[in-house]
Amino acid sequence: MSKPNDLVQGTLDLLLLKMLALEPLHGWAISLRLKSISGDVLQVSEGSLYPALHKLEQEGWIAAEWKQTENNRRAKFYSLTRLGRKQLESEAANWQRLSAAISHVIQIAEV
Amino acid sequence: MRMEHWWFTARLRLRSILRRSRVEQELDEELQFHLEHKIEEGIAQGLSPKEARYRALRAMDGLEQRKEEIRDMRRIHWLTDFLDDVHYAVRSLRRTSGLTAFVVVTLALGIGLTAMSFSTVDALIFRPYPVPHPGGVVSLVSTSHDNSYDNFSYREYLDIRSHTRSYDGVIANTNLGTVGFSADPGTTPRARAGMMVSGNYFHVLGVEPRLGRAFRDDEDQAPGRDAVVVLAPDFWKNEFASDPGVVGRTIRLNGRDFTVIGVAPETFPGMLIFANPDFYMPLAMAPVFSTNPQKRFFEDRDDRELSVKARLNRGTTQRQAHNELAVLAQNFERDYPQLNRNRGAAVHTQFEMLTRNDVNASPWKFLVICFILALSVLLVACTNVAGLLLSRARARTREIAVRLALGAGRFRLIRLLLTESLIFACFGGLGGIAVAYGGIQFLCSTTIPAELPVTNPFRMDTRVLLACLGLSLLSALLCGLAPALQSASADLVNGLKSAGVDVPGRKRLWGRNALVVAQVSTSLMLLTAAFLMVRGFRHNLAEGTKFEQHHLLLVRFDPRMVQYNAAQTQQFYKLLIERVRVAPGVRSAGLTQNPPLALERFDTVAFVPDGFEMPRDRENFVSTMDTVDEGYFETIGVPILRGRGFLASDTAEAPRVAVVNEQFAKHYWPGADAVGKHIRLDKRAGAPVEIVGVAETIKYRSGMEKPLDFVYLPLAQHPIPRMLLLVRSTGDPLPLVQPVKDIVRALDPNLPMLQTRSYEDLYRYNFVDGPGAAIKGVGTMGAVGLLLAIAGLYGVVAYNVSRRTREIGIRMALGAGSRDVLRLVMGQGLVLVGMGTAIGLAMSFGVERLLNSLFNTGGVDIAVYLAVAPSMVVVTMLAAYVPARRAARIAPTQALRYE
C-alpha cells in the first residue's frame, strides 16, 4: 500500500504545511523540494503525495488555484489558508513537544 | 473556528458533488502535469521516452489506485456510491416493472393504513395541549370509591387553589355547554358552545390573547357581576369576520348582555379533543349558565362540575403534587364526612388522563387495537415483499457471486440491495401518504348530527407525515434485510458454479406457507363479513324506519337555560304547541324527549308488570322510554295498533297512563292484550300506571338494532324541561324554520332554539352514512387482505419455481409435459389456497352468527358464500398460476444450463 511507512504518521502533513507556508507551490515542485530539503532521509513516494495534498485541501488547510507556471503551463498551485496556518502552528508545537520528550527519554537511557 | 472550518469544507464537498466531472477533469490534469514533468526528467537523464514513461507511472504506485484514494479524500463517496446504487437499482427495478408496481401498491396500502390509524391514535392520546410547555400541565381529579374519575366542586376548587404549593397556578373549567348566543340583542339566539373558566385560565396556560385581554382575577370573584367574554379564534373568524373592532362590543348570552374583552389566538383552539368552546366566560357568571337548578354552584360542595388542571412548579414532581393533594382530600373527608366519604384525589398527566379506563374514557383502546392491526398488515406486506425479493435474489445469485468474485465487499453489496428496497419503500411511502390522506378525509367526511358541532380531530399533519417516513424506512429495512443478508452471505464457489443446488428445505418455508394460509383465510372472512353487512344494510334500508322520515322538522328547547321554573316551562310548551299547530304549512306538531335514531341516549324506566312472576333475584325490570305529548304519535306517524294514544285529558291530576310498543306487550303479556294491564313504577309497591295503548315497534337507536322494549309516558304526568319540538310539514320542512322562530321569539326572544334540523339528517346518518362507513372499512380491509394473499402466494410459488428450475428441466428432459410441470408447481399453491379457504369459511360462519346476534341482518345467506369463496379461490390460484406457467414454458435445455 501507499502509506508512507518511513514517515512518522502525520509528519507528511506537517512537512507539506510548512513548505506551503513559505510560498504557493504545485505538486511537482513540492515533490522536487521534498527530495532536496530532506535529502534521502525522508522518503516520500510520489504516489502518496497527491492523496495527502487532497486531504489537506478537503480539510480546508490549504487552498488550490490554477495558475500559469514560468514555462507557461497550467498547474494547480497550493497555498496555505488561515486555518492551515493555525493547524501548522499547533502541529509544529506538538512535534516539538514530542521530539523533546523523546530525546529526553533517550538521554535518560544513556545515563 | 469550528464554524469557519465547517464553512470551508462544506463548500468543498458541495463542489465535489455538484461539479463532479469538472473536479475529475482537474484531477486528471494535475496528475498528468506531474507525469509529464517526471517523463521529461527521465529523458533528460538519458532514458528512452518509453522507459521514462514507465518509470514515471511506477513511481506513482498505480495511477488508478491513487485516483481512487484521492476520491475517497473528498469524503463524499458515501453519497456518490449511494447515487450509483440508486441509479443501478432504478434500472433493475424498471426491468421488472410489474413486480415493482405490485410491491409499491402493497407497501403503500400497508404504510397508508398504519399512518391513518396512527393519526387517530395521535389525536386521542399523544397530541399535546396547544399551549407553551404542555408537559407541565397536569389534571387534578377527584376519585370516588370505585376509582372512577370525578370533577371538583367550586368550593373544593377554591380550597385546592389556596392550600397547595406544588403549582404555578390552578385553573378550573366547566364542561362545554350549550349557550344561546345572539350577536345583537334583537336577533333570535342560536345554540353555541360556551365554557366557563377560572379567571386565571389563560394566564396559567400561558396563552396570550390575540386581541384585547384575558380575564382579570377580580373578574372571577363576585357571582354574576362581571359579564365579560373571550371569544375563540374560529368563532371570531366565522361569526365576526375577524373584525378587530369586536373588543368592547356587547353580545347576548342566555339572555344577558356580555362585553367582549378579548379573542384567543389561532394557536389555541381549545383544550378539548372533539369539540371546542366558541367562547369563554368567567366561573363567577355561573348563575347565567348553570342548568342544574337543584344545586347551588357557589355553595354546594357536592356540585362537582369543574375539571381542574394546574401547572406544576419548576422542580416539583408529579409524585410530590399527588401526595400533597391526597392529604388535602383526606382533610376534605374529615371535614365533610357526608359529602366526601371514600373520596380521594389524584394528579395525572395528560397522557394518563387520555388513556384512563373510565366510563367516560374515549375509545382509545379500540383505536390502539386498530393501529396494531394496521401495523400487522404492514408487517405482513413487508414479509410478502421480502418473499418476492427473496425469489428475485435467487435469480441473481450468479450475478452477485460474480460481483463478490470481482472484489465487491459484502457490506457494499448489502447496501446495494438495501438501496433497492429503500426505493420500493420511498414510492410505497409516497403512495402511503396518499392512502392516509384519503383515509383521513374519509374519517372526516361523516357529519354527526349532534346538537353542538363536532370538530374532527383527525388530520394530516407533520406528525403523520413523520410517521409515514418512519414507517417507510422501517419497511425498507424489513423488506430488504433478509434477502440482502442471504444474497451477500452466498457461498461464492457454489454460487459461481450453479444456483440451483441447495437442498430443498421444507422447514425454511413453513413460516411463509402458514402466513399465506392465514392471509387467504382472513381476507376471505373479511370479504364475507363485508358482503354480509351489505346485505343486512340493504335489508334494513328496505325495511326502513316504519314511519315517514321526510317532512319532519326538529327543534330542541331547554328553558332551564333562561332560568324558567317548572310552571313557566309547562306554560311555554303549551303555548308553543298551540301556536305551531295552526301555523301555515304545518300538518301536526308534537313534543318528545328524544326522537328515534337520534344520538342522545333514551332514558330508562324501572317497573314491575302487574300479574307477572318476577324472577327471585330481581326487584324490577328496566325498559328504554320516551316522554311525549298527545300530538307525538300522529306527528311522527307511529301507528297505535290497539287502544289509544295520549289525550289532552291525561293531565297531571288524571290517573297515570302509559303506551308501550308491541315488542313490550308481546314480551310481558304473550298471547294476551296488554291494553288495560298495569305496570308499577320502580318497585312492586310503586305507583300504578295503566297501559292504554300499544304502538308499533320501530327502530329506536340504530337502523340495525333488534326489536326493543319501549315505554312512552305522557309529558303532563312526567314533566321534563328539555324537550324536542317535532313538526310534520305538508312540504319541505326547512321553510318552516322561520315561522317557528317567529313563534318562539314572540313567546320569549331570549330562548335559544337548539339543534334545528330536518329529520332527514338523522335518517341519513343512521341508515346511510354510518353503515356505509362500516362496510367500506371492513371491505377495504378484506380487499387489502386479498391483495396481501395474492402477493404472498405469488412469492411462495415463484420462489419455489426459481429454486426448482433445474429439477424441472431434468423432469422435462426425461419426458414430463408442460401440463405435468404445471400440476407439480400449482399443486403446492392449491394446497395452501385450499387450507386457507377451509379455515376462512369456518371463520366466516362464526362471523355471520356474530353479526346475526348483534344486528337484524335477516338470516343465513348462502349466496354470499357462493359468490365470495369461489372468486377468492380463482383469484389466488391466478397468483400461483403466473409463476407456474413460467416454469412450464421453460425449455429443458435452457433449464439444465440455468445458472
- Written as one string, the DSSP assignment of B62-79 is -HHHHHHHHHHHTT-HHH
pLDDT of residue B500: 47
pLDDT at B99: 77
Q: What are the respective helix, strand and coil percentages of chain A, to the nearest 5?
A: 60, 15, 25
**Cβ <8 Å between A58 and B12:** yes
Nearest alpha carbon to residue A78 among A36, A34, A37, A17: A17
Residue A92 has pLDDT above 60, yes or no: yes
Confirm whether B173 is domain-assigned.
yes
Q: Specify which residues B554 forms β-bridges with.
A: B726, B757
Question: How far is residue B593's CA from residue B602's CA, in Å, rounded to a whole number?
Answer: 8
Residues of chain B neighbouring A66 (CB-CB closer than 8 A): 26
- Model pLDDT, residue B234: 92
What value does the mean pLDDT take over residues B295-300? 84
pLDDT of residue B503: 45
Would you call B25 an interface residue with chain A, using a CB distance cutoff of 8 Å?
Answer: no
> CB distance from B613 to chain A under 8 Å?
no
What are the C-alpha distances in Å from B589 to residues B576, B741, B746?
Answer: 10, 15, 18
Residue B625 has pLDDT above 50, yes or no: yes
Residue of chain B with shortest Cα separation from A67: B30
Q: What is the DSSP letter of B244?
A: G
Cβ separation A83–B74 shorter than 8 A: no
Asked if B70 has any chain A CB less than 8 Å from its own CB, the reply is yes
pTM of whole model > 0.80?
Answer: no
Summarize the confidence of residues B274-286 as an average pLDDT: 91
Helix axes B77-95, B97-121, angle to 10 degrees: 110
SS3 content of chain B, % helix, strand, coil (to 5): 55, 15, 30
Q: What is the mean pLDDT of chain A?
A: 81
Q: What is the mean pLDDT of chain B?
A: 83
pLDDT surpasses 70 at B495: no
Is 50 exceeded by the pLDDT of residue A20? yes
The tally of domains found in chain B comes to: 4
Q: Are strands B149-150 and B137-143 parallel, antiparallel or unpaired?
A: antiparallel
- The answer for residues whose C-beta is within 8 angstroms of residue B694's C-beta and 6 or more apart is B640, B641, B642, B643, B659, B660, B661, B662, B665, B674, B675
Using a CB-CB cut-off of 8 Å, the residues of chain B touching A86 are 1
What is the spatial distance between Cα A75 and Cα B783, in angstroms, rounded to a whole number? Answer: 67
Q: What is the mean pLDDT of residues B598-625?
A: 83
Percent above pLDDT 90 for chain A: 5
Neighbours of B869 (CB within 10 A): 18
Q: Rounded mean pLDDT of B139-167?
A: 87
Distance from CA of A40 to the nearest CA of B (A): 16
User: How far, in Å, CA of B309 to CA of B298, rounded?
Assistant: 19
Q: Is there a single domain that holds both residue B285 and residue B152?
A: yes
Q: Distance between CA B192 and CA B236 in Å, rounded?
A: 12
pLDDT at residue A4 tops 60: no
Per the structure, the complete domain to which residue B26 belongs is given by 2-75
The number of CA neighbours under 13 Å toward the Cβ of B548 is 16
Element holding B460 (H helix, E strand): none
How much is the pLDDT for B375?
83
Report ipTM (2 d.p.).
0.84
Task: Flag if B70 and A54 touch (Cβ within 8 Å).
Answer: yes
Does B40 lie at the interface with A, CB-CB under 8 angstroms? Answer: no
pLDDT of residue B678: 92
Contact B140, B150 (CB under 8 A): no
Q: Please tell me the distance from the alpha carbon of residue B724 to that of residue B738, in angstroms, as a whole number.
A: 17
Banded model confidence at residue B508, pLDDT cuts 50, 70, 90: low
Whether B625 and B669 share a structural domain: yes
Say which residue, B740 or B386, is predicted with more confidence.
B740
Exposed e or buried b for every residue in B344-354, given b needs 16+ CB within 10 A? bbbbbbbeebb
| B1 inside 8 A of chain A by CB | yes
Separation CA B786–CA B436 (nearest Å)? 19
Report chain A's C-alpha Rg in angstroms: 16
Question: Contact B491/B398 with Cβ under 8 angstroms?
Answer: no
Confidence label for B566 from pLDDT (cuts 50, 70 and 90): confident
pLDDT at B73 over 80: no
Listed residue (B369, B390, B477) closest to B429, CA to CA: B477
Query: Between B803 and A61, where is the model more confident?
Result: A61
Chain B partners of A68 at a C-beta cutoff of 8 Å?
none
Q: Final residue of a domain: which of B760, B793, B822? A: B760
Q: Which residues of B touch A45 (CB under 8 A)?
A: 59, 61
Specify the 3-state DSSP secondary structure of B223.
coil
Cβ of B12 and A51 within 8 Å?
no
pLDDT digits (tens, 9 = 90+) for B358-416: 656 667 777 787 788 788 778 878 877 887 777 777 667 777 778 778 777 777 778 88
- Mean pLDDT (whole number) for B128-141: 92
Lowest-pLDDT range of B312-326, B352-366, B548-562, B819-833: B352-366
Q: Which amino acid is at A72?
A: N
Instruction: Please indicate whether residue B507 or residue B389 has the higher confidence score (pLDDT).
Output: B389
Q: Rounded to whole angstroms, how far apart are CA atoms B380 and B516? A: 10
CA B636, CA B550: separation in Å to the nearest integer? 10
C-alpha pair distances (Å), B101 with each of B279, B459, B552, B784: 51, 28, 52, 15
Question: In this structure, what are the phi and psi dihedrals at residue B345, rounded to the nearest 5 degrees?
Answer: -150, 155
Q: Convert the pLDDT of each residue in B863-882 to its tens digit.
A: 778 878 888 788 878 878 88
Using CA atoms, how far residue B781 sits from B17, B265, B490, B788, in Å, is 45, 41, 38, 10
B38 touches chain A (CB under 8 A): yes
DSSP annotation of B677: -
Strand B723-729 to A74-80 pairing: unpaired
Which ranges constitute the DSSP H helices of B19-76?
20-44, 49-59, 63-73
| Residue located via cell numbers 387450507 | B835
Mean pLDDT, range B297-302, rounded to an integer: 87
Q: Is residue B238 over pLDDT 50?
A: yes
Q: Residue A1 — very low, low, confident or very high, per pLDDT cuts 50/70/90? A: very low
> Nearest-CA distance from B55 to chain A in Å?
12
d(CA B421, CA B427): 10
- Is B12 touching A (CB cutoff 8 A)? yes
* Nearest one of B87, B88, B78 to B13, comparing CA atoms: B78
Q: Is there a single domain that holds both residue B656 and residue B697?
A: yes
Residue of A nearest to B1 (CA): A83
- Cβ-Cβ pairs closer than 8 A, A with B, add up to 67
Of A46, A58, A86, which is closest to B9 when you measure between CB atoms?
Answer: A58
The residues facing B592 across adjacent strands are B628, B724
Read off the pLDDT of each residue in B472-501 and give the average, rounded to a whole number: 70
Tell me whether residues A46 and B26 touch, CB distance under 8 A: no
What are the φ/ψ torsions at residue B757 (nearest 5 degrees)?
-155, 165
Return d(Cα B118, Cα B751) in angstroms, integer. Answer: 43
pLDDT digits (tens, 9 = 90+) for B317-355: 999 999 999 999 999 989 998 888 888 899 999 888 888
> Is position B158 within any domain?
yes
State which residue of chain B sits closest to A31, comparing Cα positions: B34
Query: Tens of pLDDT along B679-716?
Result: 998 777 788 999 999 999 988 887 777 788 999 999 99
CB-CB neighbors (< 8 A) of A60 in chain B: 5, 8-9, 12
Task: Among A51, A59, A86, select the one facing B70 at the smallest CB separation.
Answer: A51
Query: CB distance A26–B4 less than 8 Å?
Result: no
Q: Which grid coordinates belong to A38?
A: 530532506
The chain A residues in contact with chain B (CB within 8 A) are: 2, 26-28, 31, 45-48, 50-51, 54-55, 57-60, 66, 73-76, 81, 83, 86
Separation CA B277–CA B288 (nearest Å): 17
Mean pLDDT in residue range B876-898: 74
- For every residue of B719-759, DSSP letters joined together read --SSEEEEEEESS-SGGGHHHHHHHHHHH-TT--BEEEEEH
What's the pLDDT score for residue B434? 93
Identify which of B342, B354, B428 has the alpha carbon closest to the alpha carbon of residue B385: B428
Residue B239 pLDDT exceeds 80: yes
Contacts of A6 in chain B (CB under 8 A): none
Distance of alpha carbon B369 from alpha carbon B534, whole angstroms: 24
Span of B240-254, B452-466, B503-517, B686-700 with lowest mean pLDDT: B503-517
Average pLDDT over residues B846-852: 79
Q: What Å distances lie between residue A70 and A25, A64, A74, B26, B45, CA to CA?
A: 12, 18, 10, 20, 22
Q: What tens digit of pLDDT does each residue of B204-214 get?
A: 999 999 999 99
Model confidence at B4, in pLDDT bands (50, 70, 90)? low
H-helix or E-strand spanning residue B406: none
Q: Which residues of A touch B68 (CB under 8 A)?
A: none
Q: Do B397 and B292 fall within a single domain?
A: no
**Contact status of B823 with chain A (Cβ, < 8 Å):** no
Topology classification of domain A11-110: Arc Repressor Mutant, subunit A (1.10.10)
Task: For residue B429, tell me if it sits in a domain.
Answer: yes
- Residue B129 within any structural domain of the chain: no
The answer to whether residue B5 neighbours chain A at the CB level (below 8 Å) is yes
Instruction: Judge whether B35 is closer than 8 Å to chain A, CB to CB.
Output: no
Pick B631 or B817 by higher pLDDT. B631
pLDDT value, residue B866:
80
Tell me, yes or no, whether B819 lies in a domain.
yes
Cβ atoms of B366 and B121 closer than 8 Å: no
Over the stretch B419-437, which tens digit does the pLDDT of each residue have?
888 888 889 999 999 999 9
| Position B504 confidence tier, pLDDT thresholds 50, 70, 90 | very low
Task: Name which of B716, B599, B126 is nearest B371 in CA terms.
Answer: B126
Instruction: Decide if B108 is inside a domain.
Output: no
**Chain A contact for B37, CB < 8 A?**
yes
Q: Looking at residue B591, what is its pLDDT? A: 94
Question: Which of B183-192, B500-509, B818-827 shows the lowest mean pLDDT across its residues?
Answer: B500-509
Cell match 475529475: residue?
Answer: B24
Closest by Cβ to A75, choosing from B5, B33, B73: B33
pLDDT score of B139: 93
CA distance B721 to B569: 6
Interchain proximity B5–A83, CB inside 8 Å: yes
Q: Which pLDDT belongs to residue A2?
A: 42
| Interface touch A66/B26, C-beta < 8 Å | yes
